[in-house]
Structure 1
């Protein structure tokens, strides 16, 4: 007779995933609204079900063991399906339409991770997504063309009354594989930059960081789209300053260039009173960025 497969406890899986993503089961307990002892008990239960240790300490943070990494991958998939089923079965009969705007950097993560799940859970809500630059997004919010917009947040730019900060992420220098950076740094030959057309927050941050470090630079390529910058970089034309959001795996982080600080992410909402659909989607976006930014900044 075949051995019955183990049915893993969903709440224990959630505690495990949250603890690993936050690097602390104390933080996980706070996020989940449980006591630390309850979360620890759930982890112990999950390890008993799995028949192996799933977590190990690495300095002040918790890391998955080798078997824990396997469990983490499956746990995320199980919880994703669980939450999608819950949303589909428990959702109210939302209807109407939503217009959402976002920076191109977020397109590959936000569209499938949030909007895909939302539209499957609320099929009667028509969601239109526009990918464009900050100025167009903010203008769209001012004129009520977007219900919600996810933007980069300039340090000196105030939030709208109905908007909020989603956190900050580090700016990183990105370049093609085998880019001869040492040659430019040693020879003082101007570093070729691939940037958006001005005005651009990251373009300004890049040139300011290089100026502070006394590194000469030149604008080698300008583009109206992020895909154009990635294509130019893949062709070896130069480097750029972006974040981890949307960076192609084929490109590398250039640690040798001067630190350029970080940049804020903000969620803007139109002044029109939000309907139930907009409120649900706003909460999903906040949850997604809270978890993602914590992971990026670890």
Structure 2
């Protein structure tokens, strides 16, 4: 018998391009003797722990094989559950299927695997040696499947709340709001964006923002939004800037877009018959502060969020008075429960910080 094996093996290689599956070659030892225990063959072919050298042979051996199959996750789950419970009848009850359905799944898996996975002992089905190796792989496949489903599902089901704030509120209000809100809403993703008053109002009206803090003119008849407080507008300059404004053109540092503070400053100067010129325009609040530090002009804003080196100069007799502004909170008409909770925290923290200022 032993003398026939090499001839049979060579014939299989010539005819089929691969050695016979019952006599796998082990490159690490060169051992192809037929009396090797079948359990060792199965362990090395199917178990996850087979050595790297044999893994190369295993991949090459099955590269053109028709044994590849797409195993059904539900069927894999059924055999793992049946093995863990010690009974496929109990597995059928736990999985909400009939015993016949479980039996059909098991039969299909054995057909795909090309070997018997379970044998009957008394009333129970127990895994064969190949079945034990197959179940080890089934557990890994099920684990990866469930992890992938959880990861995708967790991402898809995240609640997102979109908040808009003036740039003045990014250093104190935003951290306070996010810190307080995250304590009770750990699974909610908050998107925060800065913008001009006009842009923030439009974003809330169009439903692209769930809530926003916005400056409004001091007009009691305007009922849009929820009033948080009234804040006086202030003339601002750098602390080291010498002010000699009598009879001179007043240089202004302004936003380059539609802005309540820009409109209020120009209206006040026009009403007081003061000459003015635009020295610098910028799209950002840090740009305003940078221009003031270079003594390029004056700006108008509230006192909230002022850098330490920027001062109010309202007591200068050469500057006209400015109106107040109403700080309001806008919320979308279709705001989610999480967005409404954020609005509550936003109002609470903003009021607290303004009182402390």
TM, length-normalised to structure 1:
0.61
Q: How many equivalent pairs are there? A: 197
Matched, 1:194 2:257: no
Hey, what's the Cα distance between the residues in 1 that align with 2:231 and 2:216? 11
Hey, what's the Cα distance between the residues in 2 that align with 1:246 and 1:99? 22
Offset of residue 120 of structure 1:
4.2
Give 2:159's aligned residue. 96
Shift in alpha-carbon separation, 1:293–1:111, aligned structure 2, 3 A: closer
Hey, what's the Cα distance between the residues in 1 that align with 2:350 and 2:191? 20
Matched, 1:177 2:177: no
Offset of residue 279 of structure 1:
2.0
1:220-259 equivalences in 2 (<5 Å):
220-254=279-313, 255-256=315-316, 257-259=319-321
Give 2:333's aligned residue. 271
Give 2:179's aligned residue. 116
1:70-149 equivalences in 2 (<5 Å):
96-149=159-212
Hey, what's the Cα distance between the residues in 2 that align with 1:228 and 1:130? 18
Gaps in structure 1 of 5+ consecutive residues: 1-93
C-alpha RMSD of the superposition: 2.1
Offset of residue 121 of structure 1:
3.8
Hey, what's the Cα distance between the residues in 1 that align with 2:284 and 2:211? 21
Corresponding residue SS for 1:100: strand
Hey, what's the Cα distance between the residues in 2 that align with 1:282 and 1:199? 26
Runs of 4+ in 1 over 6 A off after TM superposition: none
Hey, what's the Cα distance between the residues in 2 that align with 1:265 and 1:112? 19
Corresponding residue SS for 1:290: helix
Is contact 1:195-1:240 (8 Å) kept? yes
Gaps in structure 2 of 5+ consecutive residues: 1-156
Is contact 1:141-1:148 (8 Å) kept? yes
Offset of residue 124 of structure 1:
0.6
Give 1:8's aligned residue. none
Is contact 1:169-1:293 (8 Å) kept? no
Hey, what's the Cα distance between the residues in 1 that align with 2:305 and 2:355? 17
Shift in alpha-carbon separation, 1:159–1:141, aligned structure 2, 3 A: farther
Give 1:288's aligned residue. 349
Is contact 1:104-1:132 (8 Å) kept? yes
Is contact 1:119-1:127 (8 Å) kept? no
Question: 1:188-216: CA deviations, max 9, x gaps?
Answer: 11011001124211111112222333332
Max Rg structure: 2
Structure with the bigger RCO (C-alpha within 8 Å, sep 6+) is: 1
TM, length-normalised to structure 2:
0.52
